[in-house]
Amino acid sequence: GAGVSQSPSNKVTEKGKDVELRCDPISGHTALYWYRQSLGQGLEFLIYFQGNSAPDKSGLPSDRFSAERTGGSVSTLTIQRTQQEDSAVYLCASSPPGQGAVEQYFGPGTRLTVT
Amino acid sequence: DQQVKQNSPSLSVQEGRISILNCDYTNSMFDYFLWYKKYPAEGPTFLISISSIKDKNEDGRFTVFLNKSAKHLSLHIVPSQPGDSAVYFCAASRPPYTGGFKTIFGAGTRLFVKA
């Protein structure tokens, strides 16, 4: 079946502009995660959605970052007034419902470059 | 505050030999540990996991060992193949069903398997 998809695959934007990154999780997966990976770094957790529960936003680095998940499926990560330090690969992942489902299925990522 | 550490940024191994990738963690609350594999321009893919109540899990050429007293886990690949060349991420997780989300990734180790 189809995996996690993300769009766009690459985004170049000027400092100060807003950007929106999209994630389509695997159908039926109730959990959705956003991470970012800066050059030479590990995956940094940003936000987590689980079903209809309030999202865990504890990883968002500033109030310029926000995310929503509509209808329990597609998610959009928005970065307002982008800064050069926002340049990174933004990865989305989803996981199925049920106990013990700890592994996450990742999309290919969106490479964001802020000039 | 690096709760999951992969101290070797890279590792080079001859084809057919064993690859050993190491990971250390600092927080005893994690109850699942996972390894992900990442090729360039792709998202990470789940490889193998281990529950904290076990000390070994094996899946084909891949075996993960967990030493809770040392807060250390390792991934063994034997025999190593050129197609195993990738970046390997260690992750420590508290499953969502425990009421809170927490997955911390290491910075990754790049494995080169030479033919």
- pLDDT per position as a tens digit, A17-31: 999 999 999 998 988
Asked if A50's CB is within 8 angstroms of B106's CB, the reply is no
User: Residue B93: its pLDDT value, please?
Assistant: 86
Interatomic CA distance for residues A12 and A89, integer angstroms: 12
Backbone angles phi, psi at B31, to 5 degrees: -120, 0
Asked if B107's CB is within 8 angstroms of A40's CB, the reply is yes
- Give the B window 52-81 contacts with A, CB below 8 Å: none
How many angstroms separate the CA of residue A80 from the nearest CA in chain B? 24
pLDDT tens per residue across span B15-73: 999 999 999 999 888 888 999 999 988 999 999 999 999 999 999 999 999 999 999 99
Which residues is A65 bridged to in the sheet?
A79
Select from B76, B72, B84 the least CA-distant residue to B111: B84
Whether A100 has a pLDDT exceeding 90, the answer reads no
Q: Which residue has the higher pLDDT, A85 or B1?
A: A85
Kindly state whether A39 is in contact with chain B, defined as any CB-CB distance less than 8 angstroms.
no
